[in-house]
């Protein structure tokens, strides 16, 4: 199906601009098991491009909730995975006043946020997405 104005998702800019205000979060894997770990939880601070990487045994909501106990951003950007869109996460984010935004798949012709991390960081990640408020 061809994209046209009628099918476009409305764009909503993220207005937070301080360090640690906006985090993008996602799981990578499964990878071949190493020391009992097969997933990587990847979190990126959008302003300074700071990367936090945590090896995990599973890719479930408990891992994400435990990770967020170390600090709370003003906005969290994730995909629609069940580990990010669930009651436990919604409750935690509401408790701390965190705005949850959902990343949508790339749409040709739209202005997208491109995030490219250098291979020197040990993570090769390219992410093209637009954002939609949940």
Q: What is the pLDDT along the chain (134 residues), one digit of tens a residue?
A: 555 666 666 666 655 578 888 899 999 999 999 999 999 999 998 888 889 999 999 999 889 888 876 678 889 999 888 889 999 889 989 998 999 998 876 544 433 333 334 333 444 444 443 344 44
**Tokens linked to 53:** 């990487």
DSSP 32: -
Determine, yes or no, domain membership for 66.
Answer: yes
E strand or H helix at 40:
strand 39-45
Determine, yes or no, domain membership for 6.
Answer: no
Determine, yes or no, domain membership for 36.
Answer: yes
The number of helices, as runs of H, and strands, as runs of E, in the chain is 2, 7
**Tokens linked to 101:** 């935004």
Determine, yes or no, domain membership for 48.
Answer: yes
Is residue 45 within 8 Å of 19, Cβ to Cβ?
yes
Q: List the domain range (segments joined by +) for residue 46.
A: 21-133
- Which value, in Å, is the radius of gyration of the alpha carbons in the chain? 15
CATH number of the domain within which 57 lies? 3.30.420.10
**Tokens linked to 128:** 């093209």
């Amino acid at each position: 199906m061809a994209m046209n104005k009628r099918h476009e998702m409305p764009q909503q800019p993220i207005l937070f601009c301080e360090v640690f205000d906006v985090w993008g979060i996602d799981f990578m894997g499964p990878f071949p098991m190493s020391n009992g770990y097969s997933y990587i939880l990847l979190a990126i601070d959008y302003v300074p491009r700071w990367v936090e990487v945590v090896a995990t045994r599973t890719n479930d909501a408990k891992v994400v909730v435990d990770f967020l106990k170390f600090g709370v951003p003003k906005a969290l950007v994730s995909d629609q995975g069940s580990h990010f869109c669930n009651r436990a996460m919604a409750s935690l984010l509401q408790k701390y006043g965190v705005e949850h935004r959902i990343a949508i798949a790339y749409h040709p012709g739209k202005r997208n946020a491109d995030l490219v991390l250098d291979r020197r960081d040990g993570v090769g990640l390219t992410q093209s997405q637009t954002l939609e408020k949940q």
